[in-house]
C-alpha cells in the first residue's frame, strides 16, 4: 500500500494531529527527568504509553536523540518499534539532504526493510538541488514510504533563501518539482510552515497541484492556531498533517495531561 493511502486511512481513523516527540533538555527537566539516556527513555515511553494508540502519526525529532550518540539512537529505535506496534505511523524529522550514494545511504537507513530505524516517512532538505533527493524519491515510491520536502519553512531565516527570485523563487522551483514528483504516487509531500502558507500565494505558488500531503509545523508553541491553518490552506486543508510538539508535551508532567490536550487540539482540527 502506498504511503498516501496509509496516511489517509490513519487520518480517517485517528485524526490529522501529528504528535511531535521532542525530548529537549528543558522538557526533560520540566517532567522531573534527568537530561541523560535514562531520562530520554522514560520521556519517550511515557509519550508512547499515553498517546501511541490515539494519534495517527508521531514525529520524533531525531536531533534530540542523536545528542546522546549511539545510546540515544538505541532509544529512538525502541520508540519507533513501540509506536509502530501501537498502530501509528512514524515520521522521522531528520531533514536529511545530500547527493548520490550518500543520499542513498540515508534513504536505506530510514526506509530499508528491517532497518532498526525504518519509518513510514522522512523530512528531507532539497537545497543541494531537488534532484539530489533522487535516491530517496525513488526508494520512497518503490517501498511505499513518504518524503516531506522542505518548501516554505517558518524560521525567520528561511525567506532569505526560499523567497529569492520573486515569481521565480527558489521555493517555487522546489514546490513545482515536488508537485510533479507527487503525480507518480503521492509519496512526496511538503513542509509548509503554518505561519508562512500565505507566502505561497504572494510567490505565485499553486499548492493545489501537490498530490501529497502538507506537514504544517507552527501549531501551538510557535503561535499558529487551528483557525490559521484552516484559513491558510483553504481547499487544500484535507491534505494537512498538523504537527504539535511542545503544546502537547508540556502537559506530560502530570498523568493524563498529554492525552487531555491531544484530544482538545484533535477535536479542533476535525471541526
Write out the catalytic residue numbers. 95
What is the distance between the alpha carbons of residues 187 and 79, in angstroms, rounded to a whole number?
24
| Contact call for residues 187 and 145 (beta carbons, < 8 A) | yes
Q: Enumerate the H helices of 147-256 as residue ranges.
A: 159-162, 170-182, 198-202, 226-233, 246-249
Bridging pattern class, strands 146-152 and 214-215: unpaired
Indicate the DSSP class of residue 132.
G
Query: How many other CB atoms sit within 10 Å of the CB of residue 100?
Result: 10
CB 76 within 8 A of CB 82: no
- Residue 171: closest CA among 162, 179, 181: 162
Q: How many CB atoms lie within 10 A of CB 143?
A: 15
* Type and span of the H or E element at 25: helix 25-30
Distance CA 249, CA 27 (A): 8
Q: Residue 251 to residues 78, 243, 258, 261: CA-CA distances in angstroms? A: 23, 16, 5, 7
User: In angstroms, rounded to a whole number, what is the distance separating the alpha carbons of residues 253 and 95?
Assistant: 29
Amino acid at each position: 500500500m502506498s504511503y498516501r493511502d496509509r496516511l489517509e486511512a490513519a487520518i480517517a481513523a485517528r485524526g490529522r494531529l501529528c504528535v511531535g516527540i521532542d525530548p529537549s533538555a528543558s522538557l526533560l527537566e520540566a517532567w522531573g527527568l534527568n537530561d541523560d539516556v535514562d531520562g530520554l527513555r522514560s520521556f519517550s515511553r511515557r509519550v508512547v504509553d499515553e498517546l501511541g494508540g490515539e494519534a495517527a502519526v508521531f514525529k520524533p525529532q531525531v536531533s534530540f536523540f542523536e545528542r546522546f550518540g549511539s545510546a540515544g539512537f538505541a532509544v529512538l529505535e525502541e520508540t519507533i518499534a513501540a509506536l509502530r506496534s501501537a498502530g501509528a505511523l512514524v515520521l522521522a524529522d531528520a531533514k536529511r539532504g545530500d547527493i548520490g550514494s550518500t543520499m542513498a545511504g540515508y534513504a536505506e537507513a530510514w526506509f530499508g526493510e528491517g532497518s532498526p530505524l525504518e519509518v513510514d516517512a522522512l523530512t528531507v532538505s532539497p537545497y543541494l538541488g531537488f534532484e539530489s533527493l533522487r535516491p530517496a524519491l525513488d526508494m520512497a515510491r518503490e517501498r511505499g514510504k513518504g518524503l516531506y520536502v522542505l518548501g516554505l519553512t517558518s524560521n525567520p531565516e528561511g525567506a532569505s533563501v526560499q523567497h529569492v527570485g520573486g515569481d521565480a523563487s527558489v521555493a517555487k522551483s522546489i514546490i513545482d518539482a515536488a508537485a510533479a514528483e507527487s503525480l507518480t504516487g503521492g509519496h512526496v509531500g511538503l513542509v509548509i510552515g503554518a505561519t508562512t502558507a500565505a507566502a505561497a500565494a504572494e510567490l505565485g505558488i499553486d499548492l493545489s497541484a501537490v498530490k501529497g500531503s502538507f506537514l504544517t509545523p507552527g501549531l501551538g508553541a510557535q503561535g499558529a492556531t487551528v483557525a490559521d491553518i484552516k484559513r491558510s490552506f483553504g481547499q487544500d486543508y484535507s491534505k494537512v498533517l498538523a504537527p504539535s510538539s511542545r503544546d502537547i508535551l508540556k502537559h506530560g508532567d502530570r498523568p493524563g495531561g498529554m492525552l487531555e490536550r491531544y484530544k482538545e487540539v484533535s477535536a479542533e482540527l476535525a471541526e
